[in-house]
Structure formats: structure tokens, C-alpha cells
Amino acid sequence: MAEKAAVAETVAEVAAEPASIVSIKGFDSNLRCRDFQFAVGETYSVSGEVEACVNGFHAVDAADPFHVWDFYPIIGDDGKLARYAEVVQSGAMDRQSDDNKRGTNIASASITISAELSLPDFIRRAVDAIVTATKGWGDNPSGDSARIGSSGYSAQIGSSGYSAQIGSSGDSAQIGSSGHYAQIGSSGDSARVGSSGHYAQIGSSGDSAQIGSSGHYARITASGANSVIASAGVNATGNGAIGTWISLAEFDANGKCVGFATGCVGQDGIEPNTAYVAKGGKLTPA
């Protein structure tokens, strides 16, 4: 009876394994990953045993979109914006958790590139994931005028209410805010900050920060080394230390996006400790 029970349990586990999952995948500016060219709407398959980080098509758990920035940060080494997509993984799969980066890598035998995500869409998903993961933590993180502080490492902080004030001093913090008028400060290294509300004020003094904003009128400052700032909202400003990459969307008088202005502080006349806006395809002092 014990043997039959064990067999039944094994069968149940196999039956419970999903045939496919929805994940998030990152690419370079040409929609390539590790020199493999992808296209939206296409399905790809690989032969051989699937093993995470060895063989298979890779993506990250949709419950932690920020993890994709570990592989494809907002701005690539070529100074161009990375691209992201919702994908469906199927067939044989293998998961590998990365304790240092806190995310899960998923390899699969087949992958379908379902839909490309714009930077605002990606940030909204990342913010929603953090808000969901931290719901119920602290004092009403989803209410208006929330005040949230954290001094520990690897904090996950989410807020969906207006006028939130969020501060984190530990390294490797993940901070998401979807409400308007948020004030977000981080002094730890390797912070990942996403904001989708309007009029956000975001400041980071730690090294290697990655800051993304899709709301309008954002004011973003990164004084740490090797940081990245990107905004897809109207009339955003970026201010960084030498070595900081800044990419800001530019809009015409009708509110239509006409492109991105991208540059690195310390190069091509872009000065540190100066707020820049996108104008005429270039980063111009605000």
C-alpha cells in the first residue's frame, strides 16, 4: 500500500506540473539575447537536456520582473535601451534560484515571444509585483501618505497609495511605487527603484542603482557610481554622478513621444550634478 501511495503521489506531482508558464524576458536593443535573434509572435525550441544557465531558452519569474535587470539593465553597454517581453515557456523546464540576486531563472525547451513590453508597462508590472509581495507589511503600504523605512539588506518595499515617503539604507533594496507624488530615497548599493506614478521624486546615493520611472514630471537623481536612470514620462529630469547613464523620453507639443535622449555623465559635455531634460534628441540642461 505504501508503494502504491508513493506512486500515486508521484503521478499527482507530474500532473500538477504546468504545461506552460508566463514569464518575463530581456533582450538587447535589437531583440537579441546571447546573439540569438528573436521576433515577437514567434516560437522557438531547443534540443537536448534543459538545464538553467546551461541549455534552454531563459526568462525570469513574472512574480519578480526586476530580476531581469540583473541580465538586461535599462540601458545596455552600447548606451541603448534594453527591451523586454512577456513570454510563454513550455516543454521541459528547469529553475535555478540565485540567492545573491534573489530571483529565479527559468530555462525551458520552448519559448514563445508573446508581446513586447514598453518601459512604462514593464515598470508598472515590476511595481505591482513588489506591492503584491509586500501587501500587509508595515503600516498600510497601499494607503495614501504611507511612510516606509528600511535599514536592512535586500528589502522589498511596495506602495500603491499617493504621497508615499519611502526610505531605504540597506544594500540590494527593491522599491516599487505606483502612486503619484511619491518621494523615494535609497542610500544602499545596488538598489532597484521603479515608479509609475506622476511627480515622483527619486534619489539614490548608493553605487550601481537602477532607477526607472514611467510617470510624468519625475525628478530623478543618482549620486552613486555606475548608476542607470531611465524615464518614459513627460518632462522628466535626470541628474547623475560621473559614469551614470541617463535616458529620457522626449515628447512633442501634442504629448506624443518622439524618441529618447541618452547619454553618459562625463561624456559628450554631460556634466555631473546637473539636471537634464530631453530636447532635440539630446540631453539638455533643465
Across 39-118, the runs of DSSP E, i.e. the strands, are 43-45, 57-61, 83-98, 103-117
Which has more confidence, 146 or 269? 269
What pLDDT shows up at residue 6?
38
Confidence of residue 143 (pLDDT cuts 50, 70, 90): confident
What pLDDT shows up at residue 17?
52
Separation between Cα atoms, residue 219 and residue 79, nearest integer Å: 21
Strands 201-204, 219-222: pairing is parallel
Buried b or exposed e, range 131-140, using 16+ CB within 10 angstroms: beebeeeeee
Q: What is the pLDDT of residues 228-253, one digit of tens each?
A: 999 999 999 999 999 999 999 999 99
Residue 121 neighbours by CB under 8 Å, 6+ apart: none
- Residue type present at position 115: A
Separation between Cα atoms, residue 237 and residue 275, nearest integer Å: 6
Q: What is the pLDDT of residues 31-70, one digit of tens each?
A: 999 999 999 999 999 999 999 999 999 999 998 898 899 8
Rounded mean pLDDT, 70-92: 90
Is 22:88 a contact under the CB 8 Å cutoff? yes
What pLDDT shows up at residue 120?
84
- Say yes or no to pLDDT of 206 above 70: yes
Indicate the average pLDDT of the chain.
88
Separation between Cα atoms, residue 47 and residue 18, nearest integer Å: 20
Which has more confidence, 101 or 122? 122
Predicted TM-score of the model (pTM): 0.83
